[in-house]
Amino acid sequence: MKISVERGVLLKAVAQAQSVVERRNTIPILANVLIEAEGSDVTFRATDLDIEVVDKAPAQVERAGATTVSATTLHEIVRKLPDGALVSLTADSAAGRLTVEAGRSNFSLATLPKEDFPVMASSEYASNFSVPAPKLRRLFDKSKFAISTEETRYYLNGVYMHIADGDEGRALRCVATDGHRLARIDSELPEGAADMAGVIVPRKTVGELRKLLDDDEMQIAVSVSETKVRFATPDITLTSKVIDGTFPDYTRVIPAGNTRKMEVDASDFAKAVDRVATVSSERSRAVKLQLDEDRLILSVNAPDSGAAEEELAVAYADEKLEIGFNAKYLLEIASQVDRENAVFLFNSSGDPTLMREGNDLSAVYVVMPMRV
Amino acid sequence: MPSLCRECLTEFDTAPRCPSCGSPRVVAHPELFDLTIAHMDCDAFYASVEKHDNPSLEGKPVIIGGGRRGVVSTACYVARIRGVRSAMPMFQALKLCPDAVIIKPRMDAYVDASRAIRALMEELTPAIEPLSLDEAFMDLSGTTRLHGAPPAVMLARLIKRMRTELGLTGSIGLSHNKFLAKVASDLEKPHGFSVIGKGDTDAFLRDKPVRLIWGIGPAAQASLEKAGIRTFSDLLRWEQTDLVARFGSMGDRLWHLARGQDKRRVSRNAPMKSISNETTFGEDTNDPDILDGHLWRMAEKVSDRAKAKGLAGRVVTLKLKRRDHSSLTRRLSLRDPAQLADTVYRVARGLFDQVGDEGPYRLLGCGLSDLCSADQADASGDLLDPDAHKRGQAERAADAIRDRFGHDAIMKGRALR
């Protein structure tokens, strides 16, 4: 194999590949990226056995062929090369080396045979549809903060992507929860998605997917089977196994009868929560909300370190209420609001609270209160 | 050299026997009357209590332990001569000593005896740190004028009173810090009185193996051995920074201990670090129902103790021992500290379900650690488990019933499995 690629193009392709590779690896080949050159393209393929990324880039292919080389080393080298350099990759299979040349720099890297590289079995995708990148970005960006890290409830370690009845008819929906908070985000139903089986997209896949979605107006091709999900742009294909488990019935968790409504400027609210929480260094800091007519008092009382209080003007017309929350959770859901006021709907101090942005029902958050 | 007769408590200057009563039981050391930190360790405590309560056992080998299946918890010195050791499986102990009298532990009796000893210690100093029922640290600094006698004399008197009034013997280690006091008490068991002074600390430690240090078990020993550390003199060759870099906080402790330095104070209420309970089964089992019953009972015991102390824990641990005695532990950090048996059980049960080992097991235990005050316990609910709040209230109600009508007044069906 002998190819030449522009440094910028190469860096983008290799960066995506190396981020999939696990840092600590017991199987040497999994630390490598598979480079295949044919026609006028080169593809870079990396996997951790759960996720596979295939990245295609235009190249001058002098001699077709394939090899594998350490993904992190190749990435580091390309990153450090000067911008605009033309990089040539030459594989010498007899010597088991890959030569990387650019200008006066010359590197020789150890390779492993391409036959040893595990290629993810292809599968039949029952549903194929496409979603504009910004919509997909919103679905995952607004839900991922609620993904659980608790391994005993492994089925919560991802975002549940499925089709559901939304506020305005059938919708593509993403839900994540860790038992303390929940995010439910809807997007209009893409053509061809109506029969999609619900899948739990693992946390790492959500992170990798995010890197695909930078380009604003691109259409992302989504394919879903019972065991796998695939997201593809013309250049990059991300294939991932989904979490083999049943996502709990979240619908009964979302309170329907919460009537005590508070409306507040989300950014003012988040800043105030952040300020009062400063006095406590505990891991689960509780913020107390005291609601009275059009007035909210936020307070933190940490016997060992101090106390803080702040008053905010809000729209609230119901009877007095005192309720506590984990400061971090409140901050996280408040920061999801980007356009309008945050609307909180409370029931009692022991019941889950609902939060949404203005009257937009396509993004709903639930947070569990804390005893204070 | 300052000397003390352990029989008649006469103080004198160097002699092989007591000039007053002629006893050979003499302890002599240049710093004998200056040292103040002591460790008292009863000799074969459970067995001694049994022998005291039942004089017909005198002279017979006595083993305290549970059933044929269990392990030796204590062996009296007669049995120890035959090779029986603590923690030895019972069948092995019986092979070595077939005529041994096996007695099931009577914890209540041991707790009573321990209280009696504690009362005697309280007369010496308020600074007592019990490590278990049968051993404790004492700091007698500044008590000489109060008692009109130096600590060594008071300690010898304590041991003497334990023998005459309670029929129990114990060994004393006297030194200038806790580490060395504990090491010293183990030097001449049973009925010993050993002294390690400031002047002879270095010479004493030099060739001793590092496993002498409390808390250095086989695993830590192995990792030290990899670094070429077997004895205290090996440790002395290391720079403090290198030890810390390699062994973390343990390295810092080792550096100081190697020099015979231990700044820990004798504290009356050492903060509790963890609460755990475990049980060895009558026979190995992998029956999920039986294991579930054990798990619930252990969770309940742990929770009862946490409730009694007003504590809650952020980490739940599950421990299992397989037939071949290899053990398996799993732990989970919780977001909110837990105190309820229901929470401990559910978390431990989740860990158990993911063990992925067929068993059979011989032991099961569970524990709570990373403890904190109970007012932070179970503070936030679980969205996906809306009934948790009700179960918590039910548990509190059941606790109130037990407080009033006794521990067995109400229990879960699960506890009967």
Whose structure tokens read 């990245």?
Answer: A55
Look at residue A123 in the predicted model and tell me its pLDDT: 80
Tokens (6 digits) for B394: 């039910």
Q: How many residues does chain B have?
A: 417
Query: What's the pLDDT band for B17 if we cut at 50, 70, 90?
Result: confident
- pLDDT (0 to 100) of residue A153: 86
Contacts of A232 (CB under 8 A, 6+ apart): A220, A221, A222, A223, A238
Q: Are A3 and A89 in contact (CB under 8 A)?
A: yes
Tokens standing for A124? 């039949």
Q: What is the pLDDT of residues B119-141, one digit of tens each?
A: 999 999 988 998 888 999 999 99
pLDDT confidence of B263, banded at 50, 70, 90? confident
- In this structure, how many other beta carbons lie within 10 angstroms of the beta carbon of residue A187? 20
Return d(Cα A80, Cα A103) in angstroms, integer. 13
Domains of chain B in start order, with CATH, are 31-199 (3.30.70.270), 205-257 (1.10.150.20), 274-416 (3.30.1490.100)
ipTM of the predicted structure?
Answer: 0.75
Predicted local distance difference test score (pLDDT) of residue B68: 55
Where in chain A is CATH 3.10.150.10? 2-116, 127-252, 254-367
Mean pLDDT of all residues belonging to chain A: 92
Superfamily, domain A2-116: DNA Polymerase III, subunit A, domain 2 (3.10.150.10)
% of chain A exceeding 90 in pLDDT: 73
Top pLDDT among A152 and A133 is at A133
Residues of chain A found within 8 Å of residue B350, distances taken between Cβ atoms: 152-153
Tokens of B183: 């090491």
Average pLDDT estimate for B217-236: 86
pLDDT band at B67 (very low <50, low <70, confident <90, very high): low
User: In this structure, how many other beta carbons lie within 10 angstroms of the beta carbon of residue A207?
Assistant: 15
Q: Which residues of B touch A257 (CB under 8 A)?
A: none
pLDDT digits (tens, 9 = 90+) for A245-260: 999 999 988 999 999 9
Q: Residues 6 or more apart from B148 whose CB is under 8 A from it?
A: none
Helix (H, G, I), strand (E, B) or coil at B381: coil
Which pTM does this prediction carry?
Answer: 0.70
Instruction: List the 339-368 stretch of B: residues with Cβ below 8 A of A.
Output: 347, 350-351, 354
Residues from chain B contacting residue A353 (CB–CB below 8 Å): none
Q: What percentage of chain A reaches a pLDDT higher than 70?
A: 99
Residues 307-326, chain A: which have Cβ within 8 Å of B? 326
Residues 162-181 of A with CB under 8 A from B: 177, 179-181
End-to-end CA distance of chain B: 65
pLDDT tens for each residue of A261-313: 999 999 999 999 999 999 887 666 789 999 999 999 999 988 778 899 999 99
Return the H-helix or E-strand segment holding B3.
strand B2-5
CA distances from B377 to B129, B314, B344 (A): 28, 9, 12
**CB contact at 8 A, A167 and A197:** no
Catalytic positions of B, written as ranges: 135
Residue B320 has a pLDDT of 93
User: Which residues 6+ apart lie within 8 Å of B94 measured at CB?
Assistant: B68, B100, B102
Strands A51-58 and A360-367: unpaired
CB contact under 8 A, A368 and B336: no
Q: HEC states along B65-134?
A: ECCCCCEEEEECHHHHHCCCCCCCEHHHHHHHCCCCEEECCCHHHHHHHHHHHHHHHHCCCCCEEEEECC
Distance of residue B383 Cα from the nearest chain A Cα, in angstroms: 5
> Residue range A135-162: average pLDDT?
93
Q: Minimal CA–CA distance to A339: which of A365, A367, A358, A315?
A: A358
DSSP string covering B4-18 = EETTT--EEES-SS-
The answer to whether residue B326 neighbours chain A at the CB level (below 8 Å) is no
**Nearest Cα residue in chain B from A349:** B380
Give the single-character DSSP code of B19: T
Q: How many Å apart are CA A211 and CA A204, to the nearest integer?
A: 11
Q: How far apart are the first and last CA of chain A?
A: 66
Would you state the structure tokens that stand for residue A144, as one six-digit string? 């991922």
Order across the sheet with A306-313: list the strands: A306-313, A295-302, A286-292, A321-326
SS (H, E, C) A21-50: CCCCCCCHHHHEEEEEEECCEEEEEEECCC
Q: What's the rounded mean pLDDT across residues A163-192? A: 93
- Contact A141/A185 with Cβ under 8 angstroms? no
- Tell me if A147 sits within 8 A of A203, measured CB to CB: yes
CA–CA dist B210, B257 (Å, integer): 10
Give whole-number Cα distances, B242 to B146, B211, B236, B258, B260, in Å. 45, 20, 12, 14, 19
Q: In what order do the strands lie in the sheet with A169-177?
A: A199-202, A158-166, A169-177, A181-188, A360-367, A353-357, A342-346, A260-264, A315-316
Tokens for A335, please give them. Answer: 């920061």
Would you state the CATH architecture of domain A254-367?
Roll (3.10)
Quick one: tokens of B120? 């005697």
The alpha carbon of residue B213 is apart from the nearest alpha carbon of chain A, in Å, by: 34
Measuring CA to CA, which residue among B191, B194, B199, B224 is closest to residue B209? Answer: B224
A27: Cβ contacts below 8 Å, ≥ 6 apart:
none
Higher-pLDDT residue of B299, B384: B299
CB contact under 8 A, B384 and A253: yes
Distance CA A272, CA A269 (A): 5
Q: Does domain A127-252 have CATH number 3.40.50.620?
A: no
Task: Out of A177, A369, A371, name the one closest to residue B384 (CB).
Answer: A177
Asked if the model's pLDDT at residue B359 lies above 80, the reply is no
CB B152 within 8 A of CB B174: yes
The string of DSSP codes covering B366-379 is EEEEEEEEGGGTT-
Lowest mean per-residue pLDDT among A79-83, A320-324, B355-359:
B355-359
Residues of chain A contacting B379 with CB distance shorter than 8 Å:
284, 286, 370-372
Tell me the longest C-alpha to C-alpha distance in chain B: 79
A368 touches chain B (CB under 8 A): yes
Q: Residue B120 and residue B224: Cα distance in Å, rounded? A: 40
